[in-house]
Structures are given as structure tokens and as C-alpha cells.
Structure 1
Amino acid sequence: MTRAASSPAATGVVAAVEGHEHGSTDEACLHLDPATRLDASRRLKSVRGHVEGVLRMLDDPGVYCVDVLKQVSAVQGALRKVSDGVLRAHIRDHVATAALRGDSEHIVEELMEALKYKT
């Protein structure tokens, strides 16, 4: 992931990993695993298509408000699934490894940092 991310979602992801050096050999500094990255990417591409569909709905002057609300809710649910998957991976790969090392302060820090971004 580059710092040149321009979308609000990508910017939030970049902000969430600030302070971590990519390519670091520090065991405490793990990065999002490939399977979770792939799943999140696939889901976000689907969300992008869904949002584009909602935008097309809004081009219709006769669009029914409740239909728009339903679609926005579906987009929010899909984004929540992305967030849940990344949080699960973070707990599994970062928090659990801190627990194995007996680093209780790091456990608290990792959880608090992750939960700041939980929707």
C-alpha cells in the first residue's frame, strides 16, 4: 500500500498503519496477511460497484428514498464485513502474538489502536 492513496477508505487504512515500517524484521510489526488483503480487496471492489449503482439510482429524479436507504445500508454492511475481517486478522496476528510473548502492555496498545477504527 502506498501513501499516495486518495480515497477516504484508503486514507484511513494508511493512517491505521502509520508508524509501521514495511519490510521491518521486527516480530512485533506484522502486516496484513495475503489472504485477508485479497478478501478485503475483493469485497471493496464489490462495494465500489455497489456505490456506483447507488449513484446511478440517484440520477433518476423519481428514485424512491427508501430504495436509496436500503442500498446505502447494504453498502455499510459490506464495509463492516471488510472492517471485521481486518480486525479479526489484526487480533489473530498482532494481539495473539503479543500474548504469546507475554507482552501485556503491547496487547492493550494493539487492541486500543484497532478499536479506534472499528465502526
Structure 2
Amino acid sequence: MNELSQKSKTDKDAIIKRLRRIEGQVKGIQNMVNQDKYCVDILVQIAAIRSAIDKVGGIILENHIKGCVRNTIEKDNEEKNEKMIDELVTTITKFMK
């Protein structure tokens, strides 16, 4: 998570704020289940959480690409570049699942 420490404190704070909001949404769903709320309403909230967590993941992935990946590629070491690209492809594939 070194890329986040390289980003401004404002960017990092925005990510933490999003994660706290998601945490609140999860707790809200727990309450909805405990209160036997309508299943469709619960599913809508789950979809909102999915979308929010994907957005956070996208921001962190962007930071990784603009941080670690860029720094490695700028060093012009072909072997490290190839490893970094392989890692990036693997990371994106996992993120998309």
C-alpha cells in the first residue's frame, strides 16, 4: 500500500471515508436482515455496496499503476518491467472477478 502513502493525505482520507461509508452500509444491511426487511430492498443495498467497493478498488488500482508500476517501468530494467507487467495483469484479473 506504499502508493497510498505517496498520494496526498487528502486522497488517502477520501479512500478511508469511502471505506467507512461502506462499513456503515454493511451494518445497515445487517439491521435490515435482523428486522426481516423486504429481500428486494436488501439486494438493492448489496448492489450499492458492490458498486462502492469496486470504486474504491479502482482508485487503489489506479494509484498502484501510477505509483509502483510507473516507477518500475521508468527505471528501464527489462526484467523488472516484465515482472511488473505480469503482476499487473494478475492483479487486474483478480480485481475483475
For Structure 1 versus Structure 2, the TM-score category normalised by the shorter chain is: 0.7 to 0.9
Q: Is the CA contact (8 Å cut-off) linking 2:25 and 2:49 kept in structure 1?
A: yes
Contact 2:3–2:63 (Cα < 8 Å) also in 1: no
Instruction: Report the residue type matching 2:50 in the other structure.
Output: Q
Give the structure 2 partner of residue 114 of structure 1: 91
| Offset at residue 31 of structure 1 (A) | 3.5
Alignment size in residue pairs = 90
Larger relative helix fraction: 2
Gaps of 5+ in 2: none
Q: Write the mapping of 1:1-119 to structure 2, written as runs, cut at 5 A.
A: 30-32=2-4, 33=7, 34-61=9-36, 63-103=37-77, 104-112=81-89, 114-115=91-92, 117-119=94-96
Which stretch of structure 1 is more off in the superposition, 92-101 or 105-114?
Answer: 105-114
The amino acid across from 1:111 in the alignment is L
With the length of structure 1 as denominator, give the TM-score of the two structures.
Answer: 0.64
Question: What is the Cα deviation at residue 113 of structure 1?
Answer: 5.0
- SS of the residue aligned with 1:58? helix
User: CA distance change for structure 1 residues 56 and 41 in 2, over 3 Å: closer, same or farther?
Assistant: same
TM-score by length of 2: 0.77
* Aligned partners of 1:36 and 1:89 also within 8 Å: no
Distance 1:48 1:76, change over 3 A: same
CA distance in 1, matches of 2:86, 2:10: 25
Can you give the 5+ residue segments of structure 1 that lack an aligned partner in the other structure?
1-16, 18-29
1:48–1:88 distance in 2 versus 1, CA, 3 Å: same
